[in-house]
Structure formats: C-alpha cells, structure tokens
Amino acid sequence: MSDLGFSTPRPAQLRRFGRVFYPAGLRLQKALAAYVNEPGRPDQLVILEHDAVFTLGRNATPADIHMSEDFLASQGVSVHRTDRGGEVTYHGPGQIVAYPICNLRGGREDVGRLVRGLEEAMIRTAADFGVVADRLKGAPGIWVETAKYRQGGGPEKLGAIGLHLSKWISTHGIAFNVRPNLDHFRWITPCGFTDKGVCSLASLLGDGAPTWAEAADRLQAHLIDGLAMDLQPTRASSRSVSALTWRRGPGGPEVLMMLRVPAHGFWWQSVTGMMEPGEEPEQTAHRELLEETGLIGVLRPLGLTHSFWVDSSIVRFPDPEPRFNTEICYSMEVSPEAEVRLEPSEHSEYQWCGLDEALDRMKWEGSKAAVVLLKKALGF
C-alpha cells in the first residue's frame, strides 16, 4: 500500500477501545494530538465505537439535519459541531471509527497521501469480506455499486472520511459501516450528497456479515500497514466501576449524589471506584459502596461499558504518556431507611435527588448515560 499511504516506518501506538461517548472522544483526540506534537513521540491509532451522534463538519449547515433536536434527543441521538472537514455524518453503534493521530512533519507533509491510505485500508477491509468498494471522484470515502445503483440510483457509501490538520498533526479520521442503524442516515443529508445512499456490510451481506470486532481486526491491520506504523508498547487502560446508587423515595426513585472534595475534582457523582488487582467488577461495586457510603445494596448491570481519557490535570502521572480508563456501569438499589456515612477524604456532602435532577447534576457523559438507562429500567 506504499503508493497510497506511507512507506517509511514510524513508531506508533495502537489504542483500541469499545464504546467512547463522542465528547469524550474529542477530549481523547485533543490529548493525544498534544502528545504527538512533541518531538520524538509516537503516532497514535485509535479504534473505537461511538454512541449515536450526528457530527457537523466545517462545511455543514443546520439544514443538513432534517429532524429537530428534541426529536433526536428522544431517539438517543445527540448533535455536535466539529473542526473536521466535510458536512454532516453519523456515528453510532455498529460502526468502526478510526482516528489516526499522526505527525506529518519531517517529510510526510502530504494530506492526499494520508487520505488515500485511509481509503485504501477501508477498500481492502471490504474486500476481505467479499465486497467490492472503490473511490469516487469528488466524493471522499469509499463507495459500492449496489443493486440500487444498477437500477439507476446513486452509489452507496460504505466508509466515510473527514480529517482535521493543525501544524501537520492529523485528528479525526474514518468511519466504516459494519452494522449501524441505517435508518439514522435518513435523518440527515449524509456528507452533503442528496443523490447517493449509505450501505453497510450487514446491508450488503446479510447474515454473512462479520461482527464489529472481526471487521475491526481487518481494518486495524490494513491501517497499520498503510500508514507504515511500527507499533510500540502501550500501557493497559485502568478499569473502574460505576454503581449508580438509588432508593425508592416517597415521590419516586432517588439517586444518591455525592460532592467530591476539591482535591478530587469538586463535582457531583454517585458511587465510583477503581478495580483492584484480582477483583471482579461486582466485587469492586460492593466494596466501593460500603467504603464510600457505609451502605449495602442489590447490584444490577446497566449494560454499559465505556472508555475515556484520564485528565492529567485531575490525576497526576509520572510521565507524559496519556492514560485511559474503562468503566463498567451498574445500578445499586439500597434500603430507603439506610443511613449514609460518607468517607470525608473523598466526599464532603450528599443529597438524594430525583432522576431528572441527578441527570442534570452528573458531569460526565457516561454518568449521564447511566442515569438514562436506570430511568428506562425503572419505566420512567
């Protein structure tokens, strides 16, 4: 792939995550771009899956989104403006997002070569599963001539691309459709094209389509090859547990919200804690609940695991390499009569809040998503 991407190997690190909320993904990219910008630092390849979100590039207009924000919110889809090129696009579960955060200085100042390398990686990934995809002049990304195309319609996009470049450091990247909800693309003008459609490996292959992980394995390999990445070791992500603690109050469910002391961030949260070596997530949840509040409760999984960059202004590290954490989310029901006993080194006060108030007070995307899932589980 050297004629389409890069040929001279350069040190790089691979960061592969599962679900990353889109704002957390922006913070993650910003941190890695600052890291890569310093001399001698390895390039970064990030592979992940976002929550349902429409992102507006620099050329997008509000008219490119056909539904109101209230409707989108009711469907669990958020909207974010970004600094990447292009118009509006969709990210969501079932789609592989890859962010190549590369330093193009030192003889690689060729954005076109980077773009072609990214497109070729997606083309080769499609071919690995028997799908013929290609470039289309004047339309970045990769395209497939589907049955609709042969019947007189436009080609359909299988993979999108949108980059941002600052001082020759690249951010943003590509989105490759494995099995996303294609109905969501109908709510926008995808990438500004009104005469072309969107497809996925699932829409093309049906039951023969690969899983997200299987397709991500192939795309990852082609990206590493095409960008001439000489992979270096990375630190494993830390792991934590969120135990959204609640009780049945006289006016409905109430969530325990605790205010972190200033030395630990000074924001409202429910019970969270780091997993210790050899500990299972459920053990961590029960231990943290007891240590932070003196409570015991009934634990239930919320079906949410997500990853994020650990802000080095909050948690100090001995070296500049960015750190990441993966959090597993649960709900924990406690007795309405139970007495809360705070650990004063971590939290200064607590309040029992209704579900909507708890949602408003939560600082981070994952914490808010946990409250939304609890509301659904309880029928609210």
Question: What are the φ/ψ torsions at residue 299 (nearest 5 degrees)?
Answer: -95, 135
Is 285 marked as binding a ligand? Answer: no
Is 47 marked as binding a ligand? Answer: no
Q: Measuring CA to CA, how many Å separate 111 from each of 115, 122, 133, 208, 365?
A: 6, 17, 22, 35, 33
What pLDDT sits at residue 351? 98
Q: Measuring CA to CA, how many Å separate 121 from each of 40, 89, 134, 201, 240?
A: 26, 20, 11, 15, 34
Do 121 and 242 lie in a common domain?
Answer: no
**pLDDT band at 126; cut points 50, 70, 90:** very high
Direct distance between the N- and C-terminal alpha carbons of the chain, in angstroms, rounded to an integer? 52
For the question of whether the overall pTM of this predicted structure is more than 0.75, the answer is: yes
Q: What is the mean pLDDT of residues 269-291?
A: 97
Is 162 marked as binding a ligand? Answer: yes
The CA radius of gyration of the chain, in Å to the nearest whole number, is: 22
What is the rounded average pLDDT for all residues in the chain? 94
Do 181 and 249 lie in a common domain?
Answer: no
What pLDDT sits at residue 149? 63
Six-digit token pair at 127?
């071919």
CA proximity to 234, closest of 37, 43, 30, 99: 43
In percent, the amount of the chain with pLDDT more than 70 equals 97
Give the end of a domain, one of 231, 250, 270: 231
Is 175 marked as binding a ligand? Answer: yes
Digit-coded pLDDT (tens) for 306-329 = 999 999 888 888 889 999 999 999
Residue 249 falls inside a structural domain = yes
- Longest pairwise C-alpha distance within the chain: 69
Distance, CA of 257 to CA of 265 (rounded, Å) = 14
Residue 250 falls inside a structural domain = yes
What pLDDT sits at residue 58? 85
Do 220 and 271 lie in a common domain?
Answer: no
Give the end of a domain, one of 231, 260, 284: 231
Ranking 13-17, 63-67, 308-312 by mean pLDDT, the lowest is 63-67
Do 243 and 226 lie in a common domain?
Answer: no
Do 218 and 149 lie in a common domain?
Answer: yes
What pLDDT sits at residue 148? 74
Residue 206: count of CB within 10 angstroms of its CB: 8
**pLDDT band at 86; cut points 50, 70, 90:** confident
Dihedral angle sign, alpha carbons of residues 12, 18, 22, 23: negative
Number of domains comprising the chain: 2
Is 53 marked as binding a ligand? Answer: no
**Which ranges in the chain belong to alpha helices (H)?**
22-36, 69-74, 111-128, 147-150, 201-205, 212-226, 281-293, 355-361, 365-377
314/113: higher pLDDT: 113
Do 167 and 219 lie in a common domain?
Answer: yes
How would you list the strands of the sheet with 78-81, edge to edge? 78-81, 53-56, 88-91
What pLDDT sits at residue 150? 65
Is 139 marked as binding a ligand? Answer: no
Ranking 116-120, 187-191, 200-204, 277-281 by mean pLDDT, the lowest is 187-191
Do 251 and 185 lie in a common domain?
Answer: no
CATH code at position 215: 3.30.930.10
107/290: higher pLDDT: 290
pLDDT at 272 over 70: yes
Is 85 marked as binding a ligand? Answer: yes
Digit-coded pLDDT (tens) for 160-177 = 999 999 999 999 999 999
pLDDT at 25 over 60: yes
Is 50 marked as binding a ligand? Answer: no
pLDDT at 334 over 90: yes
Do 243 and 227 lie in a common domain?
Answer: no
Dump strand ranges (E) for the chain.
10-20, 43-50, 53-56, 78-81, 88-91, 95-101, 134-136, 139-144, 156-166, 169-177, 197-198, 229-231, 238-249, 252-260, 268-269, 271-274, 298-309, 324-333, 347-354
Strand partners, 162: 173
* 84 touches 166 (CB < 8 A): no
Strand partners, 186: none
Digit-coded pLDDT (tens) for 37-63 = 999 999 999 999 999 999 988 888 878
Six-digit token pair at 40?
């001698």
Domain limits at 118? Answer: 10-231
Q: Is 191 a catalytic residue?
A: yes
277/83: higher pLDDT: 277
Q: Measuring CA to CA, how many Å separate 261 from each of 69, 266, 311, 373?
A: 35, 5, 17, 27
What pLDDT sits at residue 147? 79
Q: What is the mean pLDDT of residues 273-295?
A: 97
Residue 5 falls inside a structural domain = no
* 43 touches 105 (CB < 8 A): no
